[in-house]
Amino acid sequence: MEYTVKSGSPEKQRIGCVVVAVYATRKLSPSAKILDEISGGVISNLVRRGEMEGDLGQTLLLHNLENTLCDRVLLVGCGKEKDITTQNFRKANQAMVKRLQASGATEIASYLTEAPVKRRNITWKIGQSIEAIDECLYQFNQLKTDTNLPRRPLRKFIFSVSGRGQLTDGEIAVRNSMAVSTGIKLSKDLANLPGNICTPAYLAKQATTLQEQYPKIKTTVLDEEDMEKLGMGSLLAVSRGSREAGKLIIIEYMAGDEKQDPIVLVGKGVTFDSGGISLKPGASMDEMKFDMCGAASVLGTISACAELQLPMNIVCIIPTVENMPGGKAIKPGDIVTSMSGKTIEILNTDAEGRLILCDALTFAEKYNPDVVIDIATLTGACVVALGSHPAGLLGNHSPLIHNLLNAGEKSGDRCWELPLWDDYQEELHSNFADIANIGGKGAGTITAACFLSRFTKKYHWAHLDIAGVAWKSGHHKGATGRPVSLLMQYILDRYEESKQSS
């Protein structure tokens, strides 16, 4: 898809379709008013007759409007003008795309950027539009023989800005958002692949491909022998039951100042999670191919950073394994020794994500990180607590938590903080080892984070539990690409801060 920005009046756009907003209670946006006046009141007459109310997601396609140069005009309902939220703005853009896909138009001039969203400027609206459009158009057809592609697919969107003074900012927004959107697509594509294709070795190969694409990226892949030497007994315990060897993928993107401590992203990469000996129920087990969405989001994020050539230092660490119930698989009651030296009693082999993450988090210490953020589809308890809207957020550093919450609000990829109180640590008591890998029946998301916190004492750390947001079930089953938008917004915010302080 091609995206660009342009200033100009809607009636002068010689293009396949011009898109303008109508607000609830039949109020026309400024561009809709211009088209209405130039056409002799056609739009206001239709609205007055009830053809268009302006409710969120409603659309009405008009052909050959008098005194305009475009072939079509699409009216899109944006709801109440004073109540347009991030989510509603995205829904309006997606309603636009769904209607246009059946219209025959291939080039579009969108004036939805006029819609007033509280505390959001034109660059934000352009960025959100691109992400919403690409999300709506995304299809995973890699393994299908019949792709059912549209005969005349959409190929170009032009976003309206109010004057030439906004063109430069608009172009920057397009560039940033296209990189983020491409990172989201990479994350979705990897997560949607089945477990027989997307194995730990396959993830390692994709990380190596990034090194070939971007000269600032250096990828190192540690095999099981290397991890054995490092003492990663916790991670290796999980991979023992599978014929697929575990890997530790390290991606270094060092484009910033040599003195700048890196941001470290750690992504859980369980390419298929059967639960091990603590076997999961058979129903919906196919969705356990999504247990590597943390790793996929990290790969999508670092590719977006490299595409934008951000002058920052970022390290990605991806522990990746299969969790299978083989003859050598770990058993409930087994005790293993982590890279940190702490011993872990494994009470449930389906709580494997924290076992691979704890060694990766210990490994992160070698980079003297500025901050460490781990991303993991860690607990079903997070889905129970928060549903599918925000990711769970916990950590040991208030400024980092605050920045991630703000980045989530700004990007629309929201997270919600849960408490990480010492009271919960008692749940991880073991009579036989330093720590148990699960707590009691309650607060599963928090006790999982408490487990990880035991391995993050030496740096500022945050944990994103994305179990509820990383994929959708049912008819729309598939990966969402979250939280690439959140992570990229956090990184871009940090970049802007560094520019201002230098």
Residues 6 or more apart whose CB falls under 8 angstroms from that of 74 comprise: 17, 18, 19, 20, 59, 60, 61, 62, 96, 99, 100, 103
CA-CA distance, 451 to 458, in Å (whole number)? 15
What is the rounded distance in angstroms from the CA atom of residue 271 to the CA atom of residue 276? 13
- Cα-flanking dihedrals φ and ψ of residue 388, to 5°? -110, 15
Nearest CA to 316 among 395, 403, 249, 271? 249
- Would you name the residues annotated as active-site residues? 280, 354
Token pair in block for residue 13: 């756009």
Dihedral, CA of residue 114, residue 118, residue 121 and residue 125, to nearest 10: -60
Mode of pairing for the β-strands spanning 27-28 and 17-23: antiparallel
* In 36-113, beta strands by DSSP E: 59-63, 72-77, 107-110
Which phi and psi (to 5°) does residue 494 adopt?
-65, -40
**Per-residue tokens: 22:** 């109508």
In the numeric block, which tokens belong to residue 484? 């690439």
Residue matched to tokens 């906004």: 166
Amino acid at the residue 394:
L
CA 157 to chain centre: 23
**Token pair in block for residue 292:** 């590597």
Q: Measuring CA to CA, which residue among 352, 345, 343, 417 is closest to residue 379?
A: 352
Report the distance separating Cα 171 and Cα 115, nearest Å.
19
The whole-angstrom separation of Cα 9 and Cα 403 is 39
